[in-house]
Amino acid sequence: MNDKPAFTLSRRGALVGGAAAAAAGAVPIDAGAAPAQPAPPAVPVRFTVNGKARALELDPRVTLLDALREHLELTGSKKGCDHGQCGACTVMVEGKRINSCLTLAVMHDGDDITTIEGLGRPGDLHPMQAAFVKHDGFQCGYCTPGQIMSSIAVLEEIKDGVPSYVTADVAGKPALTGEELRERMSGNICRCAAYSNIIAAIADVAGAKDVA
């Protein structure tokens, strides 16, 4: 984000710029030198987040992830890479898991969105949240909201018959095996490598025995 003088950057702007600069390794740091470009007109957007109707006026550049975190203060969804590579930003939109960092908030007018905050709360955890605690499916916890959203979606996808690259017969019904779970969870990176405990948690919720 080198399109505004550095001293007017919001925390969000600084974070976005920081992530993009780190990824590109190329964005100039002297943001103050760049001439100011007018911000595009704000676009109204309404969607339902965790059962609650929300209305925002947003710069079209705001991603769904930034809308959730910085405008609605739902900071459970995490920004790991901001480029679709880590899965920390995984949320459910219209019942399907997506990377909220690679989609614009204004593209989701009318959509039904569920974040980790919409699953359960302390004392009343979603079964998948409880299983992650029980199986130690995390260490630092940064990837965990994305892992949990994906885990719930993976079990739905297997139930719906969505094939994966390790499904032997794509025309048949996918099996609930460790190999299937690992392949389907590969879009969620865990820097602490809690992978085996994450698979144990998912298998527990699915009631799958002998998953290795």
Partner 1 sequence: MKPFTYERAASPAAAAAAVARTPGAKFVAGGTNLLDLMKLQIETPRHLVDVNRLGLDTIEPTAEGGLRVGALVRNTALAADPRVRRDYGVLSRALVSGASGQLRNKATTAGNLLQRTRCPYFYDTNQPCNKRQPGSGCAAIGGFNRNLAILGTSKDCIATHPSDMAVAMRALDATVETVMPNGQARRIAIADFHRLPGGTPWVETALVAGEMITAVTLPAPVGGTHIYRKVRDRSSYAFATISVAAVLRPTTGTARFAFGGLAHKPWRVEAAETRVDGGAKAIAAAALAGAQTTDQNAFKVPLVERTLASVLAEGAAA
Ligand X SMILES: Cc1cc2nc3c(=O)[nH]c(=O)nc-3n(C[C@H](O)[C@H](O)[C@H](O)COP(=O)(O)OP(=O)(O)OC[C@H]3O[C@@H](n4cnc5c(N)ncnc54)[C@H](O)[C@@H]3O)c2cc1C
Q: Which residues bind partner 1 (CB under 8 A)?
A: 1, 3, 16, 20, 23-27, 37-41, 43, 59-61, 63, 82-84, 87, 90, 96-99, 102-104, 106-107, 150, 153-154, 157, 160-165, 167, 170-171, 182-188
Reading the block at residue 172, the tokens are: 């048949």
Residues 174, 164 contacting (CB under 8 angstroms):
yes
The DSSP bridge pattern shows strands 52-58 and 43-49 to be antiparallel
Near ligand X by CB under 6 A: residue from 44, 84, 127, 161: 84
DSSP character string of 134-163: HTT--SS-SSHHHHHHHHHHHHHHHHTT--
Of residues 25-44, those binding ligand X (CB under 6 A): none
- Binding partner at 104 among partner 1, ligand X, ligand FES, none, C-beta below 5 to 8 Å by kind: partner 1
| Minimum gap (Å) between residue 83 Cβ and ligand X | 6
The beta-strand segments (E) located in 50-185 are 52-58, 90-93, 96-99, 112-114
- H or E element: which one contains 130? helix 127-134
Per the document, the length of the chain is 212
Q: Is 186 in the site for ligand X (CB under 6 A)?
A: no
| Minimum gap (Å) between residue 38 Cβ and ligand X | 24
- Binding partner at 140 among ligand X, ligand FES, partner 1, none, C-beta below 5 to 8 Å by kind: ligand FES
Q: Which amino acid is at 71?
A: H
Angle at 186 between CA 65 and CA 111, to 5 degrees: 35
Q: Is 88 in the site for ligand FES (CB under 6 A)?
A: yes
| Minimum gap (Å) between residue 86 Cβ and ligand X | 9
- H or E element: which one contains 183? helix 178-184
Q: How many CA atoms are closer than 13 Å to the CA of 190, on its beta-carbon side?
A: 22
| Cβ-based nearer residue to partner 1, 110 or 123 | 110
Residues in contact with ligand X, shown as a per-residue x/- string from 42 to 81 under the rule CB under 6 A = ----------------------------------------
| Minimum gap (Å) between residue 33 Cβ and ligand FES | 29
